[in-house]
Amino acid sequence: MPLEQILTGISGYDPNADLELVRRAYDFASRAHEGQTRRSGDPYVTHPVSVAEIIAELKLDIASVCAGLLHDCVEDTTATVEQLTTLFGKEIAFLVDGVTKLGKLPWSTKEEQQAENFRKMLLAMARDIRVILVKLCDRLDNMRSLHHLPPEKQERIAAETMQIYAPLANRLGIAWIKVELEDLAFKYLQPGEYEQLAQEVQKTLAERNEYIETVEKLIAKEMHDHGVPCEVVGRAKHFWSIYQKMKKTGRTFEEIHDAIGFRVVTDNQMNCYQALGVAHQTWTPIPGRFKDYIALPKPNLYQSLHTAVIGPRGERIEVQIRTREMQAVAEHGIAAHWKYKEGKPVDSDKKFAWLRQLMEHQKELRDPTEFLESVKLDLFGDEGYVFTPRGDVKALPKGATPIDLAYAVHSTIGDHCSGARVNGMIVPLRYQLRNGDTVEIITNPNQKPNKDWLNLVKTARARTKIRYLLRKEQRERAIALGKDILDKGLRKKNLTLARSEKDLDHAARELRLGDSDELIIQVGYGKVTVQQVLEKLLPGDTKKADEPERKEKKTEGMLAQLIRKVTRRQSSSGILVAGDADILVRFARCCSPLPGDLVVGYISRGKGVTVHRRDCDKGLDLDPERRIDVSWDGHGKGSHEVAIQVLCADKPGLLATISQSFSDQGVNISQAHCRATENGRAVNTFHASVKDLDQLKGVIRALSRIKGVYSVDRVSAEAPS
């Protein structure tokens, strides 16, 4: 009887457990699911019983075991949460309710919905981690019996398992569930590859077992000879990890020599290091493969020493060294920290800092897609460790930059992070931190986050803080621009912004915009036009002016109206400022932007907006407060002056060929400076007018093909050379 097995199991780890409660839960579930069968034909209740069995294997508390037995009652039978509360108490009813809700989240739908569901899952996890643990056990039993389901369902459930549940098990440190979920999912997602690998493993099984036994004995002998008490276990890695390794290294199964891992389990930490010494003394260690997760535990609390050595037959051997307690944590993760009092793991809040942090972010990020994007890395990415100059350790995801670290230390440090010293050397903000780097953040009170930082950071924390600040700044810029635009408009009617505040409040209400501040912002964003505001401020005045036009409009055909709409979006400059075509624009001489270039605008009071190329140094130096989004309106017209520098051999006739090449591309040269250098070369700078970036690229391509031309570069039109 499986129930009796579960009960025996529970009394093994929790002698005071109320086994009667478990019996009652079992009876209730059996009656509730009476008459229902699984796809396999077994009575339905065998599923919750199997789930409860897995929960007991994790040594979780009685409430979790009962929740496992009852987890499908609310979903699939007439039982209600209220009923469960009366019969089994609030705690168990809450867990069942949580698992039921999680089960209803459809993962493989639209990204947006997936994000929202993901957030709900994390919320459930933060409230009571047991909800997720029960859900994981439920998923494991479902995966074990997946062969009874139709193929479409198999694939969907396997994909969801690979994407969500296996990484989650990993994050919670429950290695054996992670491994089993991955192999089961692999089997259904890539049946061909799985089958082939399984056969290859099977073929070499006898040989492997013999090898494992030999090496186990060898390691154990060395350890014992050096006075390190331990057990040594060798084990083939799970299929999914071998397959990943084959894919990553492009090797075949026979060529993967470290598909077997050896584990040395000893009694205390000192002996772990002792064992490491023995291993390195006996066999040659492979550089770069040693990792000390004892001194620096992984965020999921995993601890162990990892190394790889050249083994007795000249092959690579991976060795993991740990204590018995570490072994328990490595297998059971969060569940190994369980104490049966408050219904949550000891110090789970403190130890699972990542969980608490995720919760903080979800408060700040209201857009679920943004939230998903930012936590996915935190949850499922690889980590490394860096040190602060004081020796504090910070765990950061792979590819993290000094900005991530700065925000991990404090948000003010993040906001003013201007660079970093890594292992004593100055590095730029885009530097990707490496495991073990010592990093000192350099701050500058004038530094501020900009949009590009979003491409540099990897942590949710940094991303959230930067977005928040950028939004705030964008709003401030919109206010500045809105005031400028409104003021100009008002002056034409002999009004000023300062004197019209009250009237603006009124106009804002009429336009349903709250107050004058909001109105100014909307003008700044180009969502409300000055004309709209004037109509509200001076109803009589503008009506008169508008009347003839309105009449005209009525007589216009649909097509004409459409054309008006389209042409109105065109600007004389070819640039839209915050979507608006009517704003005064000039092009910066330092970088001479062309239609097609990535551009950015800077508001200069009284002079409208100056447009720079996005990579222009001078632009980057300008006050980011005044930065504003600009774009080309897509009707490239007019011509733009650019400067092109051509380095070539100093030989007769070449200049003529070059200028011919310009004319071939339909481009006129307006100025040319030519200068011979000492080494028989010539530097020529041509100023020419081009339509857009494509035309410039055409010219550069043509020039580069000329024999005797060494290099062709677009240069600043401002600097004489």
Determine whether 201 is exposed, middle or buried from the number of CB atoms within 10 Å of its CB (0-12, 13-18, 19+): middle
Distance CA 48, CA 100 (A): 13
CB 533 within 8 A of CB 504: yes
75 is catalytic: yes
Identify the active-site residue in 18, 42, 75, 713.
75
- Neighbouring C-beta atoms of residue 503, cutoff 10 Å: 16
Which residue number, 100 or 274, has a Cβ lying nearer to Mn ion? 100
Task: Tell the smallest beta-carbon distance from residue 135 to Mn ion (Å).
Answer: 9
Q: Which residue is nearest to Mn ion (CB)?
A: 138
Which residue number, 174 or 486, has a Cβ lying nearer to Mn ion? 174
Query: Measured at the alpha carbon of residue 104, what is the angle toward residues 99 and 106, in degrees to the nearest 5?
Result: 130
Phi, psi angles (nearest 5°) of residue 717: -75, -15
Q: Which residue(s) pair with 595 in the sheet?
A: 597
C-alpha closest to that of 440 among 452, 430, 460, 425? 425
Distance CA 256, CA 197 (A): 12
Which residue number, 138 or 404, has a Cβ lying nearer to Mn ion? 138
Task: Tell the smallest beta-carbon distance from residue 72 to Mn ion (Å).
Answer: 5
Distance CA 348, CA 299 (A): 12
Task: Strands of 484-545 (E only): list them.
Answer: none
- Neighbouring C-beta atoms of residue 208, cutoff 10 Å: 16
Which residue number, 97 or 138, has a Cβ lying nearer to Mn ion? 138
Distance CA 162, CA 517 (A): 49
Task: Tell the smallest beta-carbon distance from residue 224 to Mn ion (Å).
Answer: 47
Distance CA 62, CA 194 (A): 37
Phi, psi angles (nearest 5°) of residue 83: -60, -45
Which residue number, 46 or 418, has a Cβ lying nearer to Mn ion? 46
Which residue number, 45 or 696, has a Cβ lying nearer to Mn ion? 45
**DSSP character at residue 438:** B
C-alpha closest to that of 602 among 618, 594, 488, 592? 618
Enclosing H/E stretch for 56: helix 46-57
Tell me the helices (H) and strands (E) count for the chain, helix number first: 32, 21
Q: Which residues contact 679 (CB under 8 A, 6 or more apart)?
A: none
Which residue number, 135 or 627, has a Cβ lying nearer to Mn ion? 135
Identify the active-site residue in 76, 200, 364, 641.
76
The two three-digit tokens of residue 206, written as one number: 């006898």
Which residue number, 138 or 318, has a Cβ lying nearer to Mn ion? 138
Task: Tell the smallest beta-carbon distance from residue 348 to Mn ion (Å).
Answer: 25
Task: Tell the smallest beta-carbon distance from residue 55 to Mn ion (Å).
Answer: 12
216 is catalytic: no
Task: Tell the smallest beta-carbon distance from residue 131 to Mn ion (Å).
Answer: 13
Which residue number, 138 or 692, has a Cβ lying nearer to Mn ion? 138
CA distances from 388 to 137, 420, 425 (A): 39, 11, 14
Determine whether 410 is exposed, middle or buried from the number of CB atoms within 10 Å of its CB (0-12, 13-18, 19+): exposed
Which residue number, 134 or 457, has a Cβ lying nearer to Mn ion? 134
The one-letter amino acid at 374: S
For binding to Mn ion (CB under 5 A), which residues are involved? 72, 138
Distance CA 518, CA 514 (A): 6
The backbone region for 526, taken as left when phi is positive above 0, alpha when psi lies in -120 to 50, beta otherwise, is: left
Distance CA 305, CA 320 (A): 6
Task: Tell the smallest beta-carbon distance from residue 138 to Mn ion (Å).
Answer: 4
Distance CA 558, CA 235 (A): 76
Task: Tell the smallest beta-carbon distance from residue 92 to Mn ion (Å).
Answer: 16
Task: Tell the smallest beta-carbon distance from residue 223 to Mn ion (Å).
Answer: 44
**Which amino acids are annotated catalytic?**
75-76
